[in-house]
Amino acid sequence: MDAEKRVAIAEVCPSGAIRYRRNDGRPNESPPPVNLTAIREGGPCAVLAGRRQGFGMTLCRCGASKDKPFSDCSHHDVKCDASGEPPTGQADMLAVRDGPLNTDPQTDGPLRVRGNLESTGGTGRVLARVQGATPCCCGRSAHKPFCDGTHARVCFKS
Ligand code: FES
C-alpha cells in the first residue's frame, strides 16, 4: 500500500492503535486541531485529542472491558445498550478547541478528563463542549456518558 494511504488511515484510526513515524523528513503525527470524542451507540467512546501518550484511544463505556479504561469490545458480549445520542449539554463554543488532554482513571470509578474537549453523538451532533469531564466507566450511570456516582453503589471494580 502507498505510504500516504497508510498515513491517512493512521490519522483517522479511532483507537490510536495504528500510528506512524515518517522517515522522509516530513512532519510526524500531530495533535488534531480540535479535541474530539465520539460516543458510539451501544459501544465505546472514541477520543482523538492531544494526549501525551498518543492521539487516539477508545474508552470503555459498558464497564465490562478487561483492559479498562480502554475498550476491548466486551460491549458486544454484554449487549451494551448505552445511547449514542444522549441529550445535549453545555455546548457553547470553546475559545480554544485543542491543547493537551489529560486522562486520569479513578480507582473503581470514572475517568477524570481535563482539557478542551468537544463531544459528538453517533450522528455527529455536538453533545457538549467542555474543559473537563468525568465519563462513566462502569456502564451504570443514569446520566451517561457522564458519571453520576452509581459506581460506588454497585461496587464497581476497575
Ligand atoms: S463510573 Fe459509572 S456512575 Fe461513576
Pocket test for ligand 1, best of 45, 68, 80, 138 (most atoms within 8 A of CB): 138
Ligand 1 environment, Cβ below 6 A: 109-110, 136-138, 140-141, 147-151
> Which of 80, 146, 147, 158 has the most ligand 1 atoms within 8 A of CB, as the residue to mutate?
147
pTM of the model: 0.87
150: phi then psi, degrees, rounded to nearest 5? -60, -30
Averaged pLDDT, 116-131: 94
The cell for 113 is 478528563
Cα–Cα distance list, 11 to 32, 54, 143 (Å)? 9, 11, 31
Residue-wise pLDDT for 82-109, tens only, equals: 999 999 999 999 999 999 999 999 999 9
